[in-house]
Structure 1
């Protein structure tokens, strides 16, 4: 591999490290979703006033990530900070944003209660054309949530593999297709694919559920709503950035002149020739 190609391949190492850092940042930060809650009934809306701390009565702000978050909700007596935890049950297939500052429910009990409320509400409907939505009870699918985590993690894992093989291509002499240029395209391509799939899974979760509600049922019964007031926040865009960086890696490999080739390299031919001569 020529020096120019080695330079491009070496640069992909730093790009992959940056991409992995972005995914880690997305996982540990709690700003995948940012939502604004407000009362929907007219009487309380007309009486909403600005508090001394700058917050508006009968409103709230909610931010959360893949595992936890924070909410400030003003029920008319000042904004109260509350911690959110994502609670899931794989056997039932549902997740819930649990308010950990409320001690009246165990989180597993709260999740099961929400599931039971959803199932009971769906069972008593007489109009078969009407369907109760999960988000109305503060629930969302476990499958989409775990798929986002697993796919994004796999994207990060393939990014690490691409770094290892990039270093090997710079300092070593790969003799097989999978360890040479073909492997560089493959590992970066897999990192791009899985990161993009993780991003898509979360977009489905957002547009199908979070966009309409991120509040528990008790808040909705108190006439609070976040419908059309929930947006994707910077933690999600860190994952988008990581996906873009993996795409840049593939473009760098293309511009470097590293070609997709199958079979053994010249180094392999030399090894075979030397073996025949020794024989």
Structure 2
């Protein structure tokens, strides 16, 4: 492939990696990872609410990695309330799992930045080592894909398996019990999926630039050595 086309491909991949840095950093600070509704179970049972009457006992909740907000509905009107995970909810949530999600998001930002820098370096510079050369680009993007997968898996398990929305809703509630009514992942969560797909696309762009996969190249070298040994 002509060097000009390689430069264009590497520049496009570098821009994608830098876009991943920006969107993940923005997503970490927003309270739009999960949104849903929460039913005030105690209030609904007290008046035996059914059908359309349940709407008076269904509040809203949305949160991210650091903060969020909820609207309590127990038949007496909505009561908005803002909360922060650190340090308020550390005793109520699986703190180690939550911190792991934040940690891998930070690692994802760091390695996306590294991938973007090395794409630009390979487009306009003269790489001279494996980690700085074209083959090293596979490494950085595989790490980014791995980190984005971990973020989605860990956060999904925290929300679904550990019932994070219910724990947040019932925090410091002495007389009322809340239960998750509806729950879905919001746009900030799906940004992580976009990041995974973007780095997967970068891997394809590297291959389109004519750079063989590292393991494929090593395998071909082993086959050639074995054939020469048989001949001599």
Q: Matched residues in 2 for 1:47 and 1:202: separation?
A: 33
Cα distance, 1:3 vs structure 2: 1.5
Superposition TM-score, scaled by structure 1 size: 0.68
SS at match of 1:46: coil
Counterpart of 1:130 in structure 2 is: none
The structure with the largest alpha-carbon Rg is 1
Return closer, same or farther for 1:33/1:169 CA change in 2, 3 Å cut-off. same
Return closer, same or farther for 1:168/1:47 CA change in 2, 3 Å cut-off. closer
Q: Matched residues in 2 for 1:17 and 1:45: separation?
A: 54
Preserved CA contact (<8 Å) 1:211 1:231: no
Preserved CA contact (<8 Å) 2:30 2:188: yes
* Aligned with 2:206 (options 253, 259, 269): 253
* Aligned with 1:183 (options 136, 139, 150): 136
Q: Matched residues in 1 for 2:170 and 2:46: separation?
A: 22
Return closer, same or farther for 1:45/1:61 CA change in 2, 3 Å cut-off. farther
> What CA deviation, in whole Å up to 9, does each residue of 1:203-245 have, x standing for no partner?
111121236724125548424311x522222111111111111
Counterpart of 1:197 in structure 2 is: 150
CA RMSD of aligned residues (A): 2.6
* Aligned with 1:44 (options 31, 43, 47): 47
Counterpart of 1:207 in structure 2 is: 160
Counterpart of 2:71 in structure 1 is: 72
Preserved CA contact (<8 Å) 1:159 1:187: yes
Number of residue equivalences: 212
Q: Matched residues in 2 for 1:205 and 1:74: separation?
A: 25
* Aligned with 2:121 (options 164, 168, 177): 168
Cα distance, 1:58 vs structure 2: 2.0
More helix by share: 2
Counterpart of 1:16 in structure 2 is: 17
Return closer, same or farther for 1:217/1:48 CA change in 2, 3 Å cut-off. farther
Q: 5 Å matches for 1:135-146?
A: 139-146=92-99
Q: 5 Å matches for 1:15-164?
A: 15-40=16-41, 41-46=44-49, 56-88=55-87, 96=89, 139-164=92-117
Superposition TM-score, scaled by structure 2 size: 0.81
Q: Indicate whether 1:222 and 2:176 are aligned.
A: yes
Counterpart of 1:100 in structure 2 is: none
Return closer, same or farther for 1:204/1:49 CA change in 2, 3 Å cut-off. closer
